[in-house]
Amino acid sequence: MRFVLFVAALLFAIPAHAQGIQQTKGNYEDKFRQLDEVLPDANTYRNASGAPGHEYWQQKVDYTIKAELDESKRRITARATVRYTNNSPDSLPWLWMQLDQNIFRTDSMAELTDAFGGPGRRGPKVTLGSGAEPTKLSMDELRRQQAMADNQYGYDISAVTSLAGAKLPHTIVGTLMRIDLPAPLASGETTEFVIEWAFNIVEEDAVNARSGYEHFPDDPRKGGNDIFLLAQWFPRMVVYSDYEGWHNKEFLGRGEFTLEFGDYKVDLTVPSDHIVAATGTIQNPDAVLTAAQRQRLETAKNAKEPVFIVTPQEAAAAEAGNPKGTKTWQFAATNVRDFAWASSRKFMWDAQGVKQPGAENETVLAMSFWPKEGGDLWKKYSTAAVVHTLKVYSRFSFDYPYPTAQSVNGPVGGMEYPMITFNGPRTTLNKDGTRTYSLAEKMFLVGVVIHEIGHIYFPMTVNSDERQWTWMDEGLNSFLDSVAGYEWDPNMPWTRSLPRDMVSYMVSNNQQPIMTQSDSVTDLGANAYGKPSAAYHLLRDTVIGRERFDFALKEYARRWKFKRPTPADFFRTIEEASGTDLDWFWRGWFYTTDHVDISLDSIYRLKMDSKNPDIDLPRRREERAEEPEVVGIGLNRDQKLPIWVLENPGVTDFYDKNDEFTVTPKDRKGYTDFLEGLQPWERAAFDRAVKEDANYYVLNFSNKGGLVMPVILGLTFKDGSTEKLNIPAEIWRRNSREVAKLLVYPKGKELVQVVVDPDWETGDADLENNHYPRRIIPSRVEAFKDEASKSRVSRDLMGEAAGAEPDKKKK
Amino acid sequence: MIRRLLVLLALVLAPFGAGTADAHQQKFTISTVSFNGRTGMIEIAHQVPVHDAEHALVVQRTGNPNIHTPDIIGSEDSREAFARYVTRRFLLMVNGEIITPDYVGSEITGGSLWVYQETPAPEGEALIRLNSQILTDVWARQENRVNIGGGTAVTTFIFRAGDVPQAAPLPR
């Protein structure tokens, strides 16, 4: 009996992948199936239209921090009072914190799971060929290995206590720490605790950490100088959300951060000659700035161009000098999800006010901090790019929500935090002491500033979960930075991330859907930056249209400003606000790895049959006459073979004077009977069609890439005129593999050529099958050979023109 | 001293000193290897993000005394030097024979540096064995994607530092 049950269980077992709706006969694939079976159910926290629900809540965490930078030891020592407000309906027996610095411990999960041959591997490499290249370590790998071996990184947590000083039990789990509360924190209640910690600051160039110090050994000051960029520098509360509870996702390096909003008061004690840039605004300018600097800051608020707060001369003097003790810079920031800062005596500093009439922050200070290595490149373009970003992004979302927007140069290539960003591009030092830069470096600076400042909108304000979904902020931000880039200078070769730029990635068969957790994605740049950006360009310019797309994007930004959206909230909002069913689009672009390749396989031309034998039969005779002669008849003629009818001209009958197209009375009666058999409305339609004698074409398409797309047609007519026709993607709803479309044009308007996606809007992978009649499309290599590139935009023409020779040994 | 030692070890590439990936460097390339029936050639097109190429060039120290500055987009010398570096890091065998494809040229479009190579295709079937180690000696986290075949149907391999070669027949 038990055996029978076992067999029955096997027979009736349903494979895990076969849950839900199935096509159990035939091969119909519903590319338009609604996403509601995939998206989480709407509830009172997040409603079905993608907006925050009427009971939406999020936690609030306020931090009061006192931190000291030990410049010589490159070490931070700090103490924080954390005030946690439980706005959830749940009672919380414990709190979780993120200890991101612990990723740099040699026993961290990130280090231990750094797979051999994986993207973070640090072992010796193996190369193809026997002896063509020696086995070798990259310098990048070696430097990192040595830094990790020579230094002890990660947090030293010295105390976790109540305000009264009672120790709170805490358990460290990798980059996370659980703090057990004396009593569960009830809904609506607040708790406060104290945490003390210290850590050694990593060398950013060696460890690649999104923050750290950079050393300048060649500075005039004995021992050189450092720039310190501090981020992920304090224990931060893990998010507790309505859809995931505690977000206990170990920091593995790729997935960035998911954080709660709150208010910050931060005192930063640094060497007295340092300039500090930080999230928020300075609370004690009298103590840390000179009278002249404070006056310049006031002037900057109404300036039309950046004003120096710390001049190049002041920075040069500081760079060569030594501190006289320490100074404490006090900052405050309201409603931010993080706090980052930068400190160095090398910084010069400029500022310019950006006016937002009617906004909460009517004057925003756009500011930049950079060392002499940034040179004129930073002086001319950093703050200008900040100002430009605020203008463009605010148009697409909301007024910039904070009082400052800052760009700081240091060892980080590009990274974002509330009100402050770290940006890497610099000038080149030449042997004659001058500093120049290529046009490409200028483009990189403007591009990275736009991108990182743009992140203050997404995700610093529209607070999506970066640890889980990189694409949510990076995709939107890559899309908007390209929009802002073209509004800066349309002639610069910005990284466009249009569908046409993503073809080689999208056809590759070893990739993940965009809806994949950040740490599991290969080629994160293409997956989470480029592909979603291409999707938004396509939605905006082709599928939805600019006006409705921009309206929907703005609505998403408005709904989720200072709140935490999920992918479902984004998909639902754009769909609802644009009034477009986009489930097919999200499904194809975000949930699958399909690509676009629509082939125009054939075109059939149809003529309207008038049924009138006196019209149709002569027309058929003409068509027959246009057909090529049977080859054998021609060969017979060439051979001068005798033809019986020609040799017997006297023998004739009816058929010698009439062919198969001769009209007979029976034909005419049949026509009359046909007309009399029609209903009046049928007769009217028929008569009109005969009179109009239109051209009918049936176009047969096949979908070779899998992704359903609008069928965009470029039509060329015999008279030389052209038209563009956009057939919505819904044409594929009943058959996503092949479809036919009837096009009708008036008499005389004959179609001679059709091209699918003539403007390369969709990222179609195979252009040859887009053309009818077919034409040869040159490969990239062939096209290149035809026209060699002549670009000069990135050459350091400035340096070349001056005859300067770069100094390769110094920064 | 350690620097000198590593220059010897790493031969052509020095550490990247101007900043790191984070939100900007993509650290990936895509190469496409396809057969062109019209020309009878195997064509190779490498796509490298301009930003990565430019920053790699900062540290590349090509050994060419005429190249000093990072100017990947417009400077013929620099771009060509980097492009030739790309071709050196892309290793190809066709039907068991190590091939050095001809360098065709390079250009910049859509934020990418494109580097082109070609080599005559053998008669009949071609088994391609390859390894793309472009920039893996600069950045430990470099990922290189190679599509074998053109148009819609391709076979894709992903290579990272130290990976062994992969093989696939070349579709015609």
Question: Mean pLDDT, to the nearest integer, of A773-801?
Answer: 70
Backbone angles phi, psi at A375, to 5 degrees: 55, -155
Smallest Cα distance from A225 to chain B, Å:
16
Which residues, numbered 107 to 126 in chain A, qualify as contacts with chain B under a Cβ-Cβ cut-off of 8 Å? 116-126
In chain B, residues with a C-beta closer than 8 Å to the C-beta of A704 are 152
pLDDT (0 to 100) of residue A191: 98
CB contact under 8 A, B164 and A126: yes
Distance of CA B76 to the CA centre of its chain: 17
What pLDDT sits at residue A17?
Answer: 45
Check the CA dihedral A732-A733-A739-A741 and report its sign: negative
**pTM of the shown model:** 0.86
pLDDT tens digits, A612-660? 999 889 988 998 899 999 999 999 999 999 999 999 999 999 888 889 8
Number of H helices, E strands in chain A: 24, 32
Rounded to a whole number of angstroms, the distance from the CA of A128 to the nearest CA of chain B is: 6
pLDDT digits (tens, 9 = 90+) for A243-253: 999 999 888 87
What's the rounded Cα separation, in Å, for the pair B42 and B31?
13
Identify whether the C-beta of residue A153 lies closer than 8 Å to the C-beta of residue A203. Answer: no
For residue A444, which residues of chain B lie inside 8 Å, CB to CB?
Answer: 51, 54
Average pLDDT of chain A? 90
- Between A284-288, A659-663, A703-707, A739-743, the lowest mean confidence (pLDDT) is in A659-663
Report chain B residues whose CB lies below 8 A from the CB of A378.
none
Supply the DSSP symbol for B122: P
Q: Note which residues in 548-607 of chain A have CB less than 8 A from chain B.
A: 595, 597
When pLDDT is cut at 50, 70 and 90, the band that residue B65 belongs to is very low
> Touching check for A740 and chain B: CB below 8 Å?
no
Other CB atoms within 10 A of residue A371 CB: 24
Q: Are residues B19 and A424, on separate chains, in Cβ contact within 8 Å?
A: yes
Cis peptide before A618 (omega within 30 of 0): no
Q: What is the mean pLDDT of residues A332-341?
A: 98
Convert the pLDDT of each residue in A479-533 to its tens digit: 999 999 989 998 877 776 899 989 999 999 889 999 999 888 888 889 999 999 9
Q: Which helix (H) or strand (E) holds A216?
A: strand A212-216
Q: Would the pLDDT of A449 be above 90?
A: yes
Residues 6+ apart with CB under 8 A from A763: A498, A499, A500, A502, A503, A506, A534, A538, A595, A596
Lowest mean pLDDT among A41-45, A60-64, A676-680, B70-74: B70-74
Question: Which residues of chain B have a CB within 8 Å of the CB of A705?
Answer: 152
Of A783 and A323, the structure prediction assigns the larger pLDDT to: A323
Q: Which pLDDT value is given to residue A443? A: 87
pLDDT band at A263 (very low <50, low <70, confident <90, very high): very high
pLDDT band at residue A420 using 50, 70 and 90 as cut-offs: very high
Contacts with A484 (C-beta within 8 Å, 6 or more apart), sequence order: A388, A389, A392, A393, A450, A454
Q: What is the CB neighbour count within 10 angstroms for residue A37?
A: 8
Average pLDDT over residues A784-791: 61
Q: What is the pLDDT of residues A74-118, one digit of tens each?
A: 999 999 999 999 999 999 999 999 999 999 888 888 877 765 444
Separation of first and last alpha carbons in chain A: 81
Average pLDDT rounded to a whole number, residues A60-65 = 98
User: How far is the C-alpha of B100 from the C-alpha of B40, rounded, in Å?
Assistant: 17
Q: Which of B50, B147, B165 is closest, CB to CB, to A493?
A: B50
Among A34-48, A141-155, A264-278, B122-136, which stretch is predicted with the lowest mean pLDDT? A141-155
Q: How confident is the model at residue B14 (pLDDT cuts 50, 70, 90)?
A: very low
DSSP annotation string for B10-52: HTT-----S---TTT---EEEEEEEEETTTTEEEEEEEEEHHH
Say what the pLDDT of residue A282 is.
98
Query: Crossing angle of helices A139-150/B2-10, nearest 10°?
Result: 140
What would the pLDDT profile of A788-805 be if each residue is shown by its tens digit?
A: 544 444 456 666 677 676
Whole-complex ipTM: 0.76
Residues facing B98 on adjacent strands: B93
Task: State the smallest CA–CA distance between residue A207 and chain B in angstroms.
Answer: 9
Residue identified by tokens 């996503």 is A736
Q: Specify the range with the lowest mean pLDDT, choosing from A151-155, A630-634, A700-704.
A: A151-155
pLDDT at residue number A599:
97
Greater confidence (A124 vs A666) lies with A666
* Cα distance between residue A272 and residue A328, in whole Å: 8
B143 with A805: Cβ contact below 8 A: no
Chain B CB contacts of A144 below 8 Å: 140
CB spacing of A414 vs B23 below 8 angstroms:
yes
Asked if A794 lies within 8 A of B145 by C-beta distance, the reply is no
Nearest residue, CB atoms, B26 vs list A136, A525, A792? A525
- What's residue A781's pLDDT? 85
Name the minimum distance, in Å, from the CA of A671 to any CA of chain B.
51
As a whole number of angstroms, the distance between CA A792 and CA A151 comes to 44
Question: What pLDDT is stored for residue B74 in this prediction?
Answer: 65
Q: What pLDDT sits at residue B13?
A: 30
Sequential DSSP letters for A567-634: HHHHHHHHHHHHT---HHHHHHHHH---B--EEEEEEEEEE-----HHHHHHHHHHHHHHSPPPHHHH
Percent of all residues in chain A with a pLDDT value above 90, rounded to a whole number: 74
B72 → closest Cβ in A140, A501, A794: A794
Are the beta carbons of A793 and B73 separated by less than 8 Å? yes
The predicted pLDDT at position A10 comes to 44
pLDDT of residue A144: 73
Q: Is residue B172 very low, low, confident or very high in pLDDT (cuts 50, 70, 90)?
A: confident
Count of residues for chain B? 172
| Structure confidence at residue A208 as a pLDDT band (50, 70, 90) | confident
Identify the pLDDT of residue A435: 93
Select from A416, A440, A768 the Cβ nearest to the Cβ of B50.
A440
pLDDT at residue A214, as a whole number = 95
pLDDT above 70 (res A607) = yes
pLDDT score at B69 = 58
A141 shares contact with chain B (CB less than 8 Å): yes
